[in-house]
Amino acid sequence: MNVQQIKQRFGIIGNSVHLNRALEVAAQVAPTDISVLVTGESGTGKEIIPQVIHQLSSRKHGEYIAVNCGAIPEGTIDSELFGHEKGSFTGATGGRDGYFQVANGGTIFLDEVAELPMQTQVRLLRVLETGEFIKVGSSKVIKTNVRVVAATNENMQRAIQSGKFREDLFYRLSTVPITLPSLKQRKEDIHLLFRKFSSDFADKYRMPAIRLADDAVQLIEAYTWPGNIRQLKNLVEQLSVIESKREIDSQTLASYIPKREEPGSGLVKASTVQENFSERELMYKFLFDMKNDLNDLKKLVAELISKGGDMQLNPDQAAMMNRMYNDVIVPGETATNLLPPGKEESFPLAEEQYAQDFQEHEEVEESLSLEDREKELIQKALEKHRGKRKYAAEELGISERTLYRKIKEFNLPN
C-alpha cells in the first residue's frame, strides 16, 4: 500500500515530505514484529502511526490496545499492564489479566512511555527481550506474543541522562524510530487541515463552513502553532461556533491566536516547564542559587580586603556581613559592627545577636542533604497550596505523578 492509499484509508491530511516519510517507514515495518518508537511534539498526531502499523500487519485481526502510561497511577500500572493475582495487594479481591495477556497476538501502543516508573521499565524490558512476564503477586511465568509500539514527546536522551529512563529499554523500543513533524514544519499543510476541520465542524453543528480570507491564510501559515494539530483543530471549532460571519479575516483570526511572548500564555508556560524542568533539575536550580549567593559574599569580602577595610558598606551589605559573623562568632569575642555611621541600631552586633539567639533556642546543625532539601521544598509547596498536589507540582516544576511518588517516598501527609 502506497502513501496516498494510507492517507485515504486513515483520513490523514497533508503533503509534507516529512509526513510522507514517516508514513513510508510505518508501511515498511508493519509486516515485521520490530519495536517502533514514535517521537514528536505534543499534538502532532503520533497515535495514528501505531494504528497504521497494526492495520497493515498480520496482527490486524488481533487485539489493538492503546495505553496512556502517564494517566495510570504508579501503584497500579504494573497490574494494568501485566495483571495481578487475588490478594496480591490491598483491594485485589480477584485476579485479572493485564494488557500484555489480553493483547496476545496483537499490538500494544504505549503512549507517553517516558512516564513509566523504573520498576515497570524493568518488567517491560523483559517482555521485549524474552516475551515473558509475571503477574503481580504470582511466581508463574507467562508467555505472550505482542507487538509493542511506543510514543513520547520528551527528549529521550535528556531523560536517560537524568536517570528517568533506562538506556537499554530505549534502544530496545527504538529499533525503528519514526519522527512526526511539527505543524510549523508542515506550513504547506496548515490551510489544508484548516479546511478539513472547517468541513467537519460544519457537518457536526449543521452550519455553513468557515473559510479564510487571503490575509488570514498568510497569518495561520506564519504562526508557529506550539500546540500543533490539536491547537489548530480547537481554533477552527471556536471560530465555527462563535463567529457569525463565515469568512474570517486576519484581524478576527488574530484575536483567537495567543501571542507566544505573553508571560501568562498557557501554551508558553507548558512548553517551557516541559522543556526546562525535571525533578533533578529542580535541585540543581536550588544549588546554583546558593552558589550565586556565596559568590556575591566572596566578592564583597575580596573588595573589603583590597581596600584595607576602609570600604563603606551600605545597610544591605553590612547586614549580610553581620549574618555571616553570627554563624561563626564565639561567645566572649568582640565583633566589629560593619554598618555605616548612624545605622548601628538597625542591625544588632554579631555578639549581641548570638547571645540573644542562644537564649531563645538551641542551635541545630543544618542538613546539607539534597534529599532533605527536596523534602523541605515539597513540604513548603504543599503547605502553600493547602495540600493541592496539582498546584504544588506546578510550583515545583514537576509532574503531578512525580510529586505523588515523592510524597509516598518521603512519607508526607497527602
CB 81 within 8 Å of CB 124: yes
Is 3-181 assigned to CATH 3.40.50.300?
Answer: yes
Name which residue leads in pLDDT, 26 or 414.
Answer: 26
Q: How far is CA 158 from the centre of its chain?
A: 12
User: In the predicted model, what is the mean pLDDT of the chain?
Assistant: 81
Query: Structurally, what CATH architecture does the domain formed by 368-409 represent?
Result: Orthogonal Bundle (1.10)
pLDDT tens, residue by residue, 313-350: 666 666 655 555 554 444 444 444 444 455 444 444 44
Name which residue leads in pLDDT, 262 or 135.
Answer: 135
**Could you tell me which of 52, 48, 64, 174 has the C-alpha nearest to residue 113?**
174
Return d(Cα 114, Cα 267) in angstroms, integer: 21
Q: Is the pLDDT of residue 364 over 50?
A: no
The domain ranges of the chain are 3-181, 184-274, 312-364, 368-409
**Rounded alpha-carbon distances, angstroms, from residue 163 to 59, 86, 110, 402:** 34, 33, 20, 13
CB atoms within 10 A of CB 181: 19
The model's pTM: 0.62
pLDDT tens, residue by residue, 157-184: 999 999 999 999 999 999 999 999 999 9
pLDDT tens, residue by residue, 298-309: 676 666 666 655
**Rounded alpha-carbon distances, angstroms, from residue 263 to 80, 267, 272, 284, 292:** 39, 10, 11, 24, 25
- CATH T-level topology, domain 184-274: Helicase, Ruva Protein; domain 3 (1.10.8)
Return d(Cα 13, Cα 265) in angstroms, integer: 28
Q: Is the dihedral of CA 18, 20, 21, 27 positive or negative?
A: positive
Q: Give 319's contacts (C-beta < 8 A, 6+ positions apart).
A: 339, 346, 347
The answer for 206, left when phi > 0, alpha when psi is -120 to 50, beta otherwise, is left
CB 152 within 8 Å of CB 39: yes
- Kindly report the backbone phi and psi dihedral angles of residue 109, in degrees, each rounded to the nearest multiple of 5, phi listed first: -105, 115
Q: Which residue intervals of 30-68 are DSSP H helices?
A: 48-55
Domains 184-274 and 368-409 share a fold: no
